[in-house]
Amino acid sequence: MGVSGGYGSPEKHLRSRHLVEFAKYEAKKKGRQEVQTQISRFANRVSSHNELAMYQGVPCDYDDDDVDFDVLGWWKRNEHMFPCLGMLARQVLSVLVSTVAVEREFSASGNILTDYRSCLSAESLETLVCNQDWLLARRRAQESSYLLESEHYMNATTDGSPSSEE
């Protein structure tokens, strides 16, 4: 494929722009909303493609040895040039933050006994922790029972033998 008429060539871009403008003119002339919607979708695809081509043409100021390169800062400075890619970068590069203390996540008693609730006696605390464990064990037993029943039903239906419920 030669330079002229290539994938990102100016001629192809100009043809795309003229095609979009012609289609908009035809849509206004005919007054059909459906055609205008299709043209808008096509124009968005063309502009997104052009945005990607522009991004790929930007010289990279990143060096492999540069440990201080700020990707988020780069996108913040350049997102006005690449709005679609900037939105995508914001979704991909964002980090969910949790403010829960690590001890609370990994400690069952930490969910019950805090500095503000330190008036609980050791027996009350033990009772609360045991009750929580028993309730969770009951739920786990119900879930495993359901899984066993559904597995038995699936085996019975695949074997062709009638299930015990019939």
Render pLDDT for 62-88 as a digit per residue (tens, 0 to 9). Answer: 777 777 878 888 888 888 888 888 888
DSSP 115: S
pLDDT tens for residues 14-56?
566 666 666 666 666 655 566 556 556 656 665 666 778 888 8
Angle at 90 between CA 89 and CA 93, to 5 degrees: 75
Q: Is the pTM of this model over 0.95?
A: no
| Rounded Cα–Cα distance for residues 10 and 3 (Å) | 10
Question: Does 126 have pLDDT greater than 60?
Answer: yes
CA-based nearest residue to 3, from 11, 135, 98: 11
